[in-house]
Structure 1
Amino acid sequence: MLEIIAALARWVQLVANLILLGSCVFLIITSTAKRAQPKVWIGQLERLFPWLAVSVPIGLLVILSTTIVQVTGSPSSLGEHEVWLGLLGDTRVGQIWILRFTAAILLLLAVLYLCKASRARWRYAMCAAIAVLPLAASSLASHTAADEFSVTAVMPYVLHLILAGVWFGALPAFILLILDRHNETNERVINFEFETLKKFSSIALPTMLLIIFTGIVVADQIFDGYYAALVATPYGWFLSAKIFLLAIILLIAARVRSYWLPLLNCKQDSDVNSGKSGIKKWVRIEFILALLLLLLATIITNTTPVKNALIENWPFPFRFSVIATWNQPNVANQVWIGLAVLVLAAVVLQLGRLRNWGIKRLIFIPAILFISGGAIALQPLTIQAYPETYRRPPVPFDATSVAHGAAVFAQHCVECHGLQGMGNGIKSRTLSTKLPDLLIEPHTVEHTPGDFYNWITNGMVNTDMPGYAEKLSDEDRWDLVNYIHALSRGYQARILTSEIVPNKAYVKPPVFSYGTHDGSFGTLQEFRENKTVFLVVFSWPQSRDRLEQLKQTYERLKEQNVALLAVPNKDLAAEDMEQLVAEELPFPIVTQSAAEIAESYALSRRTLSHPDIIGRGTTPDHMEFIIDKSGYLRARWIPSVDHSGWTDIDHLSLQISLLNREKMNTSFPEDFVR
């Protein structure tokens, strides 16, 4: 019940806010039209303004009250001022609410001033500008702001709301103007109506296009490439319904603009009356549908966002994938042909409108072309999907999981897939199907982690790949998925060198947690936004000289805001550990999870000059990696391959300086494979 009350409160205050904004914009347009202004409809509209303005802060008070009851679990807490003060002063939700409520009060004061003052274009503009403030403040509580609290993340949502206000908020004024019965036989008034509505219609079209564009930008931020959720999660279902309603509204608006509105400019009274009747009917329907659309929008804001929603079972036996199909024979040609048919459908639709085709013919022929074009374009992009295709891995992409996955792979997969996953195991030649190369080929990019999980669990139809549901636990299978992705990512890291390539971050290393010889603990993620990580994977005592050099330059690295972690490439014996401690190294030596970290990062050992794809491969005794503040692997030095490299501390310092000077804005790597 509380959720319903909160949703209705959000809806009421949003509708009121948008109508105030759009009505003021419409009145600005009216004041620039030819002066034959019938005052009645303007008076009716302005009498609504105080009620609308009061609805905004009242709605916010209801939202805050329901939030308090939900947080405390007791309606009686509404009478405790300490609870109110605690929520408002100590939480981000409360602080954003204060900002929204303050903006709502400013809007109320502006409306009261507007109602008492004489009508003037600048006063409507002032009220419209102030009506933007509560909308802008509300965007701070959106899903986009929750994911990334920045101007670039929030601004598309703010623009989306403002543009929605310009379109939707003007519809009541539009309706009142066309319903005004005063002087409706006056030719000057009819001309005024036509010019005003035509001017608004010309503004509404680009406004609607911008609403669609900003909506796509916001949706892209929220979905973050996870578009399958559009048809497989409650958030996606509500959004799909919203898009469907918007499509109907666009069709109505297009019909009003192209057919009914021009009738107002006809000389025949019957045509004018028909035009007014059609506009009255369809704009009211458009307004009702828009109200439902906004109700869906408010429900969406209180629905679990896509990034946190889980698709446990994909409902279709297929999915579309450009990456997995584009390089196959004739796929590109067929897609382009399909797109050409879609363009033809749009051309035929426009041609039919110009030649005044009948409604059935106008709909039927373009619809057949549109469906045909879509089928031609999408069919070659279709690949098989499984219930687990879009299931998110429950096991993070971390060093422990990758190392355990490597052990599982060695036990169950090497005989067929080969020591490095290249499909060249000792049994590969006896199999009925050619095995994919999991190392070099972009196989992991073309399929989802859920696809791999399904194949490992159930096997692959029409191949020799067996299922391992009975042999491996659920966690083992996900560890195997992580290892397969680590193999591929490690091979892609071969282009890394000891030189930083500015503003190029794409290699996502495994995350890890660790414990050190001095008893401290931490995770790789803790350094994000704070420090560059210099990861040194060493062997003892072979790396003694390099560790001594780093000891001498450690203070210089600290001054550059670098966290140095020294990781032995295998578990050290007690006496070796004593020798290391005796060296009095100023940086931490990782003891807990050291072997797993070293093994998972050794997958990134390959270089362009030393691909290391023969047999088992060779793991270097010493490797060093630079991980930037966003969590991306940016440079790598292997002494046995790259020779001098970072033995020149000035060169190492220069690379870190380049990272420190970067202004690149990029999201953190996901902690789970995608």
Structure 2
Amino acid sequence: MIEIIATFARWSQLTANLILFGSCVFLVIVGQQKAVFEASWTIRLEKGFPWLASVILLGLVGILATTTGEATGEVSNVWNPHAWFEIVQQTQIGYIWIARALLAVLLLSVTLVIGRVDRQRWHYGLCASAAALPLIAGTLMSHSSADEMSFGAVAPYALHILLAGIWFGALPAFLFILLNDHSKSDKTSNPTTVAVYLTKFSAIALPVMVLLAATGLMVTDRLVETYYHTLVASPYGWLLSAKLSILAIILVIAYQARYQWLPMLSKEDPQQSNVSAAHLRKWVGIEFILALLLVLLATILANTLPAKHTMIDNWPYPFRFSLNATWDEPNVQEMVWSGVALFFIALGTVWLGIRSNWNSTKKTLIPSLLGISAMAIALPPLAIEAYPETYLKPTVPFDVISISNGSQLFAAHCASCHGPQGKGAGVITDPEIKDPTDLLTEPHTTKYTVGNIFHQLSHGIPGTTMPGFSATLSEENRWDLINYLHALSRGFDARLLGSMIVPENPAIASPVFNYSAHNGSSGNLKDFRLQKNVLMVLFSWPQSKERFFQLAAAYDRIQALNTEILAIPIRALNEQELEQIAEIVPFPIITEGWSEIKDSYWLYRRVRTVPDLSGKGMFPGHMEFITDRFGYLRARWVAQFEGYGWQNVSAMTLQLTQLNQENEIMPPPGEHAH
């Protein structure tokens, strides 16, 4: 029930605000002659302005009441003004609500004032400006601003709302004009003058709708990002599709009004003029009703979980489209480009039909058949098999605890077939059964989502010896295995890392971890993001003793380069050893969490010269990694295989200096594998 009240409150205040804003903009556009403001339809329209402003205020009260009930989890607080005031005084949502309420009061004051003075064009411009402010303030509570309260995040949505107001808010004014008594003795109401008003506004409606579509795409892209599959399998996507379908109908009506009925309205033939006016009254009325429904859907959509945050637990289709997975397959590019070419031909027939005055059946049927044929040619080659779990998101974060647990599970359940490094070393004697997959060196990320791999781990792979583990491994353990495989693949890519960073090329995310150190400090690797680079030193004792003396001597210099050092042992240290190291180094020595960190970062040990490190003797005794302040591995020195390397401290500090000069190239990596 609260959701219904909340939706009605949001819809009513937004609808009233859009109408008030758009009507004032309409009056500014058509009001070049003062006589317009004396017309009966203008007076009737203006009388509704204070009422619309009052609806905005009442809607805001409803929003505050229902938000309080939802935020506190107590239905009774919907009717508790004391609880409202607590929300207003203690939350960011409350502060924004105060701003919206004050702006709505200002708007109400403006509408009352202009109703008591001689009407001037600039009065309506002032009213439009006042009506725009609550709309803009409302965007601060949108999903766009929730992710990032910045001008770049909020501005497209604010512009989208204002453009929607210019179009939607003008429809009531259209109706007031069309329903008015078109007496020829009234210059402002005769059909010719009315046609001038409507044509004048209709001329700017096209660029408004183009900009409305462009800003809508920008907002949608921000809320969808790369998760386009959610548009056909989530409430957000279904609502968006319904909204776009209604918009398409509205655009068809607007096109007919602009190019067919409006020109007839100004004809000298009274019969044609009356027929045109009747059509306009009917269809603009329908357009307004559809617009009200469109605003309702937009209101619900604005308060629905965005597509990029939606969890698709059960993908309903047996296929999905993937350009990356299919593009290099035989004949795919030719088929796709042929379909694209045919689609543009279909668009061309739309233009040709308009220019050649085809009848409506021909004008609709030919482009539709060509468009359907284009999709039938271009889309099937891009389709690949999918499972119910294909777009399932991991429930276990990609961190060293999960990776370390996954490595143990891999050794127990998978290494016998795939080999200790995942290279598919098992021998299959049956020629009809596929050999175990090489999980290390072969790319799998384009054809297989993490959800696909989860499905295969759970249910097995037909035609192979790969069994399903749903009965023997918990869901969490299966995600741990996937995280390990992900780290294994990243580790193979890490052979391209060296002691010199590749400028502006962050590619490999650093697995995150929690730690506690000998000096009482603790935290998470993510704590350093956007603040400091991290030099991680995986060491043996006492073999790394000389290197520690060197790092201790350069510690102040390294810290001055916005970098922290974390020392990570590769075996357990006793108290005596820990005391010996602590006497040398001023930086943290990790005492809790080191085992999982070591297990995970050893996967990143491969180097160009020794790309296939295997066996106990090939695990380096000393490695160092530089993670930049955005969470990416940028350089690595393996003392056993890469020579003098960072023993030249100047060479290392040069890398840190270069990292500090880089701005954010990619956002920090997410918490889960993808």
Q: Specify the TM-score bucket, using the shorter chain as the normaliser.
A: over 0.9
Residues in 2 aligned to 1:223 and 1:212: alpha-carbon distance in whole angstroms: 16
Query: Helix, strand or coil for the counterpart of 1:446?
Result: coil
Output the aligned Cα RMSD: 2.7
User: Is contact 1:88–1:97 with CA below 8 Å preserved after alignment?
Assistant: yes
Please, which moves more after superposition, 96-105 or 425-434? 425-434
Match of 1:335 in 2: 336
1:95 maps to 2:101? no
CA distance in 2, matches of 1:570, 1:658: 33
2:209 aligns to what? Answer: 208
Map of 2:668 onto structure 1: 668
Query: CA contact under 8 A between 1:622 and 1:638: conserved in structure 2?
Result: yes
Q: d(CA) in 2 for partners of 1:33 and 1:618?
A: 88
Stretch moving more, 293-302 or 371-380: 293-302
Q: What SS is found at the alignment partner of 2:128?
A: helix
The aligned counterpart of 2:648 is 648
Partners of 1:393 and 1:193 lie apart in 2 by 60
Residue 575 (structure 1) shift: 4.7
Per-residue Cα deviation, 1:298-350 (whole angstroms, up to 9, x for no partner): 12233333344322111111111111111111111111111112111111122
Q: C-alpha deviations, 1:63-113, integer Å up to 9, x for none?
A: 111222333455665786653443222211111212222222222223233
AA of the residue aligned to 1:23: S
Amino acid at match of 1:660: N
Name the counterpart of 1:356. 357
Q: SS where residue 572 of structure 1 aligns?
A: coil
Q: Aligned letter for 2:87?
A: L
Residue 611 of structure 1 corresponds to 611
> Contact 1:420 / 1:615 at 8 angstroms: preserved in 2?
no
Q: Percent identity?
A: 47
Secondary structure of 1:443's counterpart equals coil
8 A contact 2:36–2:42 mirrored in 1:
no
Tell me the equivalent position of 2:412. Answer: 411
- For structure 1, which segment, 334-343 or 238-247, has the greater mean C-alpha deviation from structure 2 after superposition? 238-247
SS at match of 2:384: strand
Question: Mean Cα displacement is larger for which, 39-48 or 4-13?
Answer: 39-48
Query: How far off its partner does 1:271 sit?
Result: 2.6
C-alpha contact 1:106 1:130 (8 A) present in aligned 2: yes
Does the CA contact (< 8 Å) of 1:433 and 1:463 recur in 2? yes
Aligned residue number for residue 593 of structure 1: 593
Deviations 1:608-630 (A, max 9, x none): 55533778994332222222333
Please show how residues 76-475 of structure 1 align to structure 2 within 5 Å.
77=77, 83-183=83-183, 189-427=190-428, 432-433=433-434, 435-475=436-476
Q: Which residue matches 2:484?
A: 483
Structure 1 letter corresponding to 2:139: S
Contact 1:60/1:101 (8 A) holds in 2: yes
More divergent stretch after superposition (227-236 vs 5-14): 227-236
Show the counterpart of 1:623: 623
Structure 1 window deviating more from structure 2 (600-609 vs 213-222): it is 600-609
Judge conservation of contact 1:395–1:475 (CA < 8 Å) in 2.
Answer: yes
Letter of the 1:377 partner, please give it.
Answer: A
Q: Which amino acid aligns with 1:202?
A: A
> Following the alignment from structure 2 to structure 1, what is the Cα–Cα distance between the partners of residues 342 and 185?
48
CA distance in 1, matches of 2:615, 2:264: 80
Q: Which amino acid aligns with 1:551?
A: A
Quote the offset at 1:294 in angstroms.
1.1
Question: Is 2:243–2:298's contact at 8 Å kept on the other side of the alignment?
Answer: yes
- Deviation sequence 1:369-408 (CA, Å, 0-9, x none): 1111112111111111111111111111111111222222
| More displaced 10-residue stretch of structure 1: 313-322 or 350-359 | 350-359
- For 2:282, give the aligned amino acid: K
- The residue aligned with 1:11 is 11
CA distance in 1, matches of 2:57, 2:510: 48
The Cα of 1:598 is off from its aligned counterpart by 2.1
Distance (Å, rounded) in 1 between the aligned partners of 2:79 and 2:369? 62
C-alpha distance in structure 1 between counterparts of 2:44 and 2:375, whole Å: 48
- The answer to whether the 8 A contact 2:182-2:191 is kept is no
CA gap 1:356/1:645 in 2 versus in 1, 3 angstroms: same
Q: Which amino acid aligns with 1:168?
A: F
Query: How far 1:570 moved relative to its partner?
Result: 3.2
Deviation per residue, 1:245-291 (Å, 9 max, x gap) = 22222222223223222323444333322222222222211111111
Point out the more displaced range, 416-425 or 585-594: 416-425
Measure the CA separation in 2 of the matches of 1:642 and 1:86: 62
TM-score (norm 1): 0.93
Q: Give the residue type in structure 1 aligned to 2:286.
A: I
Letter in 2 for 1:182: H
Shift of 1:429: 8.7
- Segment of structure 1 superposing worse, 354-363 or 89-98: 354-363
1:190 to partner: Cα distance? 2.9
Residue identity in the other structure for 1:42: T
Q: Which whole-Å CA distance do the structure 2 matches of 1:67 and 1:571 have between them?
A: 53
Question: Which residues of structure 2 form unaligned runs of 5+?
Answer: none
* Per-residue deviation, 1:436: 4.5
Alignment match, 2:48:
48
Contact in 2 for aligned 1:88/1:94 (Cα 8 Å): yes
Residue 135 of structure 1 and its aligned partner are, at CA, apart by 1.7
Query: Do the aligned partners of 2:21 and 2:131 also contact (CA within 8 Å) in 1?
Result: yes
CA 177–525 in structure 1, closer or farther in 2 if over 3 Å, else same: same
User: CA offset at residue 156 of structure 1?
Assistant: 1.6
Q: State the alpha-carbon separation in 1 of the partners of residues 34 and 267 from structure 2.
A: 18
Secondary structure (helix, strand or coil) at the match of 1:313 reads: coil
Equivalent pair of 2:235/2:304 in contact (CA under 8 Å): yes
Q: Which residue of 2 aligns with 1:565?
A: 566
Report the CA distance shift for 1:328/1:122 in structure 2 as closer, same or farther (over 3 A).
Answer: same
Q: Write the deviation string for residues 499-537 of structure 1: whole angstroms up to 9, x where unpaired.
A: 444544332222211222234431122222333222222
User: Is 1:532–2:533 an aligned residue pair?
Assistant: yes
2:125 and 2:476 map into 1 onto residues whose CA distance is 60
What amino acid is aligned across from residue 413 of structure 1 in structure 2? C
Give structure 1 stretches of 5+ with no counterpart.
none
Q: Which moved more, 1:516-525 or 1:416-425?
A: 416-425
Give the Cα separation in 2 of the matches to 1:33 and 1:501. Answer: 66
Deviation digits for residues 546-598 of structure 1, max 9, x if unmatched? 222222222333333323211122333555434323x3422111122212212
Q: 1:620–1:638: 8 Å Cα contact kept in structure 2?
A: yes
Normalising to structure 2: TM-score of the pair?
0.93
Letter aligned with residue 20 of structure 1 = L
Distance change >3 Å, CA 67–CA 546, structure 1 → 2: same
Which residue identity does 2:366 align to in structure 1? I
Q: Deviations 1:457-501 (Å, cap 9, x if unpaired)?
A: 111233443222233222221111112221222333444344444
Cα displacement (A) at 1:148: 1.9
Residue 184 of structure 1, CA deviation: 5.3
User: What SS does structure 1 have at the residue aligned with 2:516?
Assistant: strand
SS class of match (1:116): coil
Cα gap change, 1:212/1:466 in structure 2, threshold over 3 Å: closer, same or farther? same
- Supply the distance in 1 between the matched residues of 2:432 and 2:586 (Cα, whole angstroms): 55
In structure 2, do the counterparts of structure 1 residues 196 and 455 end up closer, same or farther at CA, with 3 Å as the change threshold? same
SS of alignment partner, residue 208 of structure 2: helix
What aligned pairs does 1:509-548 form with structure 2 within 5 A after superposition?
Answer: 509-548=510-549
* Length, aligned pairs only: 673
Q: Structure 1's 193 and 547: CA in aligned 2 closer, same or farther, altered over 3 A?
A: farther
Give the counterpart letter for 1:639 in structure 2. A
Shift in Å at residue 448 of structure 1?
Answer: 1.1
Distance 1:33 1:672, change over 3 A: farther
